[in-house]
Structure 1
Amino acid sequence: MRQTWRWFGPKDIVRLSAVRQAGADGVVSALHHIPTGAVWTRPEIARRKREVAFHADGAPTGLTWDVVESLPVSEDIKRQTGDVRAHLANYKASLEALAAEGLATVCYNFMPVLDWTRTDLAFRVDHGGRTMRFDLADFAAFDLFILQRPGAPEDFGAALKDEAARRFSAMDDQARTALARNLSAGLPGAADGWTLDGLRGQLALYDSLSAKRLRAHLVDFLAEVVPTAEKLGIRLCCHPDDPPFPLLGLPRIVSTEADYRFFLDAVPSPANGVTLCSGSLGVRPDNDLPGMAERLGPRIHFVHLRNVRREGIADGIRASFHEDEHLKGVTDMVATIAALLREESRRRAEGRADAQIPFRPDHGQDILDDIGRGGQPGYPAIGRLKGLAELRGIMTALEHPGVRCG
């Protein structure tokens, strides 16, 4: 598997020299400064390629831009409203520009309004490091008493509502503000400032959109863009919902193996594929990650490897969790990697050009000098280096001539 590393561009406090020293060969990046729905032009893409390939002094970094994460899908496309036709045309134009610059793997997601969602961005774990956490009771307290979303009382069980009320009563104004700020960190455009009224307005736009309808819109999107991707030799890969269950009354449609199978079968093209995220999918106890890696293998174009630990507070399929060390938590990482290596072996036997699957150590705990550096939440230097080293160790052992991985 090809070792990659997410890099947020020249403003990322983790420098490319550190990425190379961590052992990565490629970079996962995006043009975050371009508004969602606008065209990614060849000059902008070429500039990011140069930024990845060369240090400021002109010395080569030894790295290449391997995966686009993400080419975002606009809310108009998801809802099929407003500028949907223009945004679809721009999406295809962006794919054409990416292909012209040699980019062939494009990750995206279809989560409405929210991207990843956490209630605590610096939860202290037992060894003293920090990690991201989703506390279901704190989230319910936000939804019920801070956002005061219509319909929220019907979305939570009695025990969870009681606990949320206790949590809210125990919070001072500073704690309530911090909770709202943490939850807004995963909102597209959050850096520009989201208000509660602004969030309520976005949620209202989805009031009449069911999961069935949103699923149909995903298929419509793919039917529109996959032929272009296939012609260009681009592999599109959909990232799962994070976390993989409904939030704030919004439908979630990429949370299980059945969800993936639905849109993969609806648009049966090798250009229509999967980003297998073991952390996002691993939150649900009914997701079998080694089995999913095996069964969805031929359509897996990109992999995020991280682990989570579910905690005590649960309400149906929803549960509290925090991001654990890469080789701890609920996902059997060795079995998952073994399944992916078997898939690579099958691809080599078939002569597939994409036999090597790119992966990155997704997220990481803040440890050692990461603590207090103020980096992008979930993307510390040392925590990810540790995770990549551990994952590399598993792969090295499983691929050793004297070891059989299946």
Structure 2
Amino acid sequence: MIDHSAHFIADHIHELKPSGIRRFFDLASKMDNVISLGVGEPDFVTPWNVIEASFHSLELGYTAYTANAGLLELRQELSSFLETSYQVSYDAEKQLLITVGASQAIDIAFRAIINPGDEVIVVEPSFVSYAPTIKLAGGEPVVVEATEEFAFKIQASQIEQAITNKTKAILICSPNNPTGAALGLDELNQIARVVEEHDLLVVSDEIYADLLYDESFTSFASIENMKKRTILISGFSKAFAMTGWRLGYAAAPEAIIAAMTKIHQYTIMCAPTMAQYGALEALRNSQSSVIEMKNSYRQRRNYVVKALNEMGLPCHMPGGAFYVFPSIKETGMTSEEFAEALLNEQRVAVVPGHVFGESGEGYVRCSYATSMKQLTEAMQRMKIFLKDKIK
């Protein structure tokens, strides 16, 4: 049967490309004996006390909508958490919004601040949804490339060179997906100077803040004079192994949260109630689980980086998240060719770097959010794959 409905689809949707991450995940799912280093998802199960708290909320009959902005009790707990952990204070009633994952928070943040034609500077390589989300909000993404020369850490001078009279905001993600690069205090201060001088906003995706391995995390909002210029985006997916729960949040000045809440209430109503009760328990009583998972990720990171370098794929040591971003340039293949050949020949799934922007070409993203047993086998298979491919 022929489908004649395509002509009804909006032009700008036709122009959007499907997620390159999901393409390789779908390919791998149809094969046997595949080790997936593709999707960025913890291999840990959500801590049991969080699951139990969610179940208990259902037993108590807490099945109705919450306030649009989320459970006040959760926002109050989150406010305390942000102040204790990141040294930044937010009013629970006016400056916090609970969303359906950090992804929804990013989406409505851009819809709340972008006028048609506004430019948003995006640091690449970057997560696949950033540029499309900006375009869907009517804006124009302007790419600034973080290079291997600086361990994939963006330089403030690069951002400044990209600013025009149309620039509205800068989007940064630290620790970064896909490179794992984490910006330090000096680098953040330099970016803050540029932001202040040019009267800009920063959308700061801090979803991997609790997975920083070698130094303490600095929230961009905690930098002097930056809280009023920052939309802090985060959530519970990565640190608490709650990806399927779809729960995130935004913290920002009152007027911006009010604007985001307008969009949220018309498109979502509120985040799932049982998930919010789970998140409340996670904040109160699951920090030991976060530390345990973080220690395991650190061990895996160290092993994978060493193994990749030894097999001839140069790989910097990422500061956070759970990704490595090795160069595959020595093979002479494109990142797409490399990923497809590795999957077909050795049943190891990685993500080609170009899906994270043109600057990602020549690299692949490998997630080490899987067991050491699986990682050891994956590294052995990759070593066999590379035997006659390194020039």
Normalising TM by the smaller chain, what interval?
A: under 0.3
TM-score normalised over the length of structure 1: 0.25
TM-score normalised over the length of structure 2: 0.25
